[in-house]
Amino acid sequence: MLITGDNVTYQRIARMSDGNFQGNIASIEKALETEVEIVVPGHGPTGGKEILGIFQSYLKTVYQASEQAVEDDKEPYELKAELMPSMDVYHKWAGFEDEFGRHISQAMLEAEDANF
């Protein structure tokens, strides 16, 4: 069994103000390399290892798009409008409406910082 704390959530989008995208993506990558069968996320129902991949996919999508947006000199609101249609899986997750824009802003700041 793996208890992830807020590094992984399932069916809920958590605040990332105390974390970062690259760190969470890396920690999930390590967890995916284990033999774990049961995953207890920081928020949301317990499940199998697939929970790790689902949340990591969200984080990677937002972060990689943010890297490109920084390179293209876009604003967070522009990226949010572009990404929203591809985030169907997460639209019904609790907190999505409140946190998605914040996540994009944070990921873009992290991507910009990583370029220096």
The per-residue pLDDT for range 3-59, each reduced to its tens digit, is 999 899 999 998 988 889 999 999 999 999 999 999 999 999 999 999 999 999 999
pLDDT of residue 73: 96
CA distance 12 to 108: 21
pLDDT of residue 18: 86
The per-residue pLDDT for range 82-92, each reduced to its tens digit, is 999 999 999 99
28 contact partners, CB below 8 Å, separation of at least 6: 7, 8, 52, 53, 55, 56, 59
Position with higher pLDDT, 15 vs 65? 65
Cβ–Cβ under 8 Å, residues 59 and 13: no
pLDDT of residue 115: 81
Task: Please indicate, yes or no, whether the overall pTM of this predicted structure exceeds 0.75.
Answer: yes
pLDDT of 116 above 80:
no
